[in-house]
Structure 1
Amino acid sequence: SIKNLDLKNTKNLDKLLENSDILSDIIDAELFITLKLNYQRINKLSSSVYISSEIYNTQTKNYISTWSTPRKIIRYPKDCDDICENLMLSEKVILLSDQLGNSILRILDAKLKEQKNYSNISKVYNFKFYDFKDKDIIYLTDIMVNEFPGFIKITNEQSFGKQNSWSYYSSTDLLKLKKWLMISLSDIDLNIDKDYELSVSDNNIFVKKFPSFNSIGSKGNTKKFN
């Protein structure tokens, strides 16, 4: 449990962050911000102090940013006792905390704007290809990744029997993707309505290749079907 963890120990704190089950008992938020006061006594009349911080994403389970305040040197008067030193240290820590808080807000604001910009330009399309040869799938994914404008990333590549599928992230609109896909297929001698059918629904693109026959078979008695 959390009570059994000594949070004063940095290693135990790292262990806490790596343990998603324990972490979920603490907070429901996506981000977890850790703060550490770094204090060092230099000599009888001076010491140094600064605050470091790390921002941890509980969903991806990794650190997304680190930050620290500048190191401050505290110089004590010769007649400064323990109460005096603690008061001077507290005042300095309060100022550093305010400075660090403003820095963290700027970092999070920048991260949020970056995420919003990504969401605005990125669209996800679900591709499904049926009855295509492996070499054709390799060719198509290579073209879509390396030559289609607006490509961002490709994920969830799956192959089940005769069906291949993946999620395709792009800033390009659906009509252009459909056009480029038809051009790419024509480059390998596959023409729409002759060699395959293509259907589009919302952001889902389904391409089914028609079966090819090496023989037209027996014509038989065609008159009986008139």
Structure 2
Amino acid sequence: MLIHSYSKSLFSLLTLALAIMLALLAMSHKTMANSVVVFSETPASYPWVSQKATDIMASRFSKAGYMVTDKTTILTKIGQPSNAHRQTILAASSAIRATIGNGFIIFVDYDEWIEPNSRQLSMRLAAQIYTTSNGFVASWVEPSQVILIPENCNQSCLDGLLLPELEAQADSLASNIIQVLKRPTGSSDGEAKPIQIFKVEMIDLDNEEMLELMDLMEHEFPGFIAITQTESRSPRLRFSYHTTVSAQKLNEWLRVSLMEVGIDPDGDAALQVQSGFISIKRYDSIESRGSTGNTLKFN
């Protein structure tokens, strides 16, 4: 009786141990499938910018459930220097995959410029996303932010002004990338509906009108997949719009949306929707179509 009880207990312990091992294996597999490594392509003249941006993005990825692997560790394991360029890193993607499993390789780029004869510094972050197995996924450009530079502002002063904007952009960039990664990749949305990508350009609309239109396209248009490659330089806004609906449907919905934000698509702006391309351009006073006039008398 004692032997039977002991055997039963041993069997239960072995069963429990096996269950734990399988659970850990499943967790390990899931983690490996969600691995992320972030590389900076920021010029060497901005070392603290590179570190701050990648640190913030790594933290955001980690909070979203991704396993973030240190880039220096990866480069050391694949035998590459710390300043390895993108093409060199991508050429070693199979080695990176052997190290972190199926995951994503993200390159982050920082750019800044000062308009001539002004005290305005513009800055933005952008990213290129690749998988460790299938190559390019998407790119994303954050809208540029303008920083007003006061007189007699030295480098320390400028860094202090730049830091909060950089932190906000890095957090926003990581959040947008996470949304892109959650979307299905490839030529369909998982339900055999083909995904189309439209290059969208809005010209001479004010910021509020652009934001309202983008909000409608993202939150109310059926078939929406993602908005990527956002680039804003007044008076233009450009982005890529991923959707499963046709150009004909988008044309209909955009006409309704323009009227909803107070723009007459027949009189105030030119709307063009073609395969892979959307343009919305507000007429200025020179381009005004003028009144209909008396076509019976003057024709």
TM-score by length of 2: 0.38
- The structure richer in strand per residue is 1
Considering only CA atoms, is the larger Rg found in Structure 1 or Structure 2?
Answer: 1
